[in-house]
C-alpha cells in the first residue's frame, strides 16, 4: 500500500515593501530614546542601526519598535517562514548581558525539554540567536493596576519563579514590571497595531548617518494571555549563594546593602516591591542620589523605617558594619529614619483588607532572606487566594 504524500508546507511570505518617507523627530536637541544614554553617545558604533522594514536572516522583517533599554532595543518582527509575530532583541555589541542571557536561555531550553512544571511556559524561550518571549506584547510597566487585574497575573508569575528557582536553579536578579510581558493570544490585535503604525509612521531621527526610531505604544489588551518573565541578562545559574551587586537601585534587597551572600530570595524581595509599585502606583523606595554607593545608606534607612531595625545576628554577618554602624551598634544615619509604616503608606485599602494585603507583602519583604516565603509557598497566601475562591462561587 502506497504511503500518502507529505502535506505541502506553506511557502514563506514575501517581505512587505518598506516605507520610503518618514516624519522627522524635531524637538530641541536630538537625544531620542537610546541616544539619550551617555554610553550610547560615547560608542554609537556598538549599537546596531535597525530600520523599519529591514529583514534579518532572510526571515525576520522589522515592523515596529517596541522599546529600548540601557543596553538593547526591542522590535516587533514578522517571521516570514513561520508566519507569526516574534520579538527581536538587539543588544549592544559584545555586551556581557547578551552573552549571559544567551547562556541562561540555552540552560532553560535544556531544562524545559525534560520538565513538566507549569512554570516552564511562563518564561522567555529562544528560537535561535534571536531571543523571543513568545507572541509579542506590552510590558506591565506604567499605570496603576487594580486588585482584580493584579491578582490573576501574580499566580503565573509565582509559578514561573518557582520553576526558575527550584527546577532550573536560576535566579532572575531583575524582577520588575518592565521585565514582565503579557502574551497576546489574538494575532488580529497585532495586525491592527502594525497596520496603524505603517499608515501613520512614528517619527524617526537621523543624525551622523544613524537612524533612531521612536517606540510604538502598545495598550494592554482586554483579554491578555499569561505573563511571561523575560530578560535574563543578569541572571545567575546555580543554587548559590552568590556575591556581587545585582538588582536595580530602588529594588535592592538588604543583602545588597549589607554585603551578605544572596540566593533566589532576592527575586522574592523584588517581587514584593514590584507588587507594591503596580498596586500603589508609587515606589516604596524612591530616593535617588548621584551614585549607587551614595544612595546605599539612605536605602538602608528607609528599610529600617518600614521594617524596623535589622536583627542583630544579621549584622554579625555584615561586611560593611563600620560604614553604617558605630562601635556601640547605633545606626550612623538614624536622622534619616522616619516615623512611618507600610500601613501609613498604603493608599488603596482599609481595615481587614489592608491587613491581609500587607501580611502578603511582609512574607516577601523580610530582613533575613530565610524568613521570606518561597514562590510556591506564596501561591497559597489568603490574600492571593481570596479572589480566586470568590470567582469560583460566582461561577
Instruction: Give me Rg for the CA atoms of the chain.
Output: 23
- The Cα–Cα gap between 285 and 72 comes to 26
Phi, psi of 60 (to 5 degrees): -105, 110
Respond yes or no: is residue 263 known to be catalytic: no
Phi, psi angle pair for 20, to nearest 5°? -115, -20
For 177-200, give the secondary structure using H, E and C: HHHEEECCCCHHHHHHHHHHHHHC
d(CA 179, CA 13) in angstroms, rounded, equals 31
Instruction: Give dist(CA 86, CA 241) in Å, integer.
Output: 35
| Rounded Cα distance, 273 and 380, in Å | 19
For the beta carbon of residue 322, count every other beta carbon within 10 angstroms.
10
Name the active-site residue from 174, 234, 267, 277: 174
Q: Residue 123 carries which DSSP code? A: B
Rounded CA separation 214/225 (Å)? 26
Contacts by 347-350 with C-beta closer than 8 Å and gap 24+?
347/280, 348/147, 348/279, 348/280
The answer to whether residues 61 and 16 touch, using CB atoms and an 8 Å cutoff, is yes
CB 138 within 8 A of CB 216: no
Q: Are 222 and 148 in contact (CB under 8 A)?
A: no
- Within 8 A by CB and 6+ apart from 390, the residues are none
Cell 509599585 -> residue: 277
> Which segments of the chain does DSSP mark as H helices, in order?
38-42, 96-112, 147-166, 187-199, 254-257, 265-280, 292-307, 312-316, 321-324, 342-345, 351-362, 375-378, 382-394
- Indicate which residues carry an active-site annotation: 174
Amino acid at each position: 500500500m502506497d504511503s500518502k504524500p507529505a502535506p505541502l508546507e506553506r511557502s514563506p511570505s514575501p517581505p512587505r515593501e518598506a516605507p520610503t518617507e518618514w516624519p522627522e523627530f524635531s524637538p530641541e536637541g536630538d537625544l531620542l530614546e537610546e541616544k539619550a544614554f551617555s554610553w550610547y553617545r560615547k560608542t554609537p558604533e556598538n549599537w546596531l542601526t535597525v530600520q523599519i522594514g529591514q529583514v534579518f536572516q532572510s526571515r525576520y522583517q522589522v515592523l515596529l519598535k517596541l522599546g529600548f533599554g540601557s543596553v538593547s532595543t526591542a522590535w516587533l518582527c514578522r517571521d516570514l517562514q513561520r508566519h507569526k509575530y516574534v520579538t527581536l532583541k538587539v543588544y549592544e555589541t559584545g555586551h556581557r548581558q547578551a552573552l549571559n542571557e544567551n547562556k541562561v536561555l540555552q540552560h532553560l531550553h535544556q531544562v524545559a525539554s525534560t520538565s513538566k512544571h507549569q512554570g516552564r511556559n511562563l518564561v522567555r524561550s529562544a528560537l535561535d540567536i534571536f531571543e523571543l518571549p513568545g507572541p509579542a506584547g506590552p510590558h506591565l510597566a506604567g499605570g496603576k493596576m487594580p486588585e482584580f487585574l493584579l491578582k490573576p497575573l501574580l499566580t503565573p508569575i509565582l509559578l514561573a519563579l518557582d520553576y526558575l528557582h527550584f527546577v532550573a536553579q536560576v535566579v532572575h536578579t531583575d524582577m520588575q514590571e518592565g521585565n514582565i510581558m503579557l502574551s497576546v493570544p489574538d494575532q488580529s490585535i497585532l495586525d491592527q497595531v502594525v497596520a496603524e503604525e505603517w499608515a501613520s509612521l512614528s517619527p524617526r531621527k537621523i543624525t551622523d548617518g544613524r537612524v533612531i526610531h521612536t517606540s510604538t505604544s502598545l495598550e494592554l489588551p482586554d483579554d491578555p494571555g499569561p505573563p511571561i518573565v523575560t530578560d535574563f541578562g543578569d541572571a545567575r545559574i546555580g543554587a548559590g549563594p552568590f556575591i556581587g551587586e545585582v538588582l536595580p537601585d530602588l529594588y535592592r534587597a538588604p543583602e545588597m546593602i549589607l554585603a551578605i551572600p544572596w540566593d533566589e530570595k532576592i527575586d522574592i524581595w523584588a517581587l514584593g516591591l514590584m507588587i507594591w509599585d503596580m498596586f500603589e502606583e508609587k515606589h516604596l523606595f524612591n530616593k535617588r542620589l548621584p551614585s549607587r554607593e551614595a544612595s546605599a545608606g539612605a536605602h538602608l534607612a528607609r528599610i529600617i523605617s518600614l521594617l524596623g531595625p535589622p536583627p542583630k545576628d544579621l549584622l554579625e554577618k555584615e561586611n560593611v558594619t563600620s560604614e553604617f554602624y558605630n562601635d556601640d551598634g547605633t545606626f550612623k544615619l538614624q536622622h534619616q529614619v522616619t516615623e512611618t509604616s507600610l500601613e501609613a503608606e498604603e493608599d488603596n485599602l482599609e481595615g481587614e483588607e489592608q491587613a491581609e494585603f500587607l501580611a502578603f507583602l511582609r512574607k516577601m519583604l523580610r530582613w533575613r532572606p530565610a524568613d521570606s516565603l518561597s514562590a510556591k509557598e506564596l501561591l497559597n497566601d489568603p490574600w492571593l487566594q481570596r479572589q480566586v475562591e470568590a470567582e469560583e462561587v460566582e461561577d
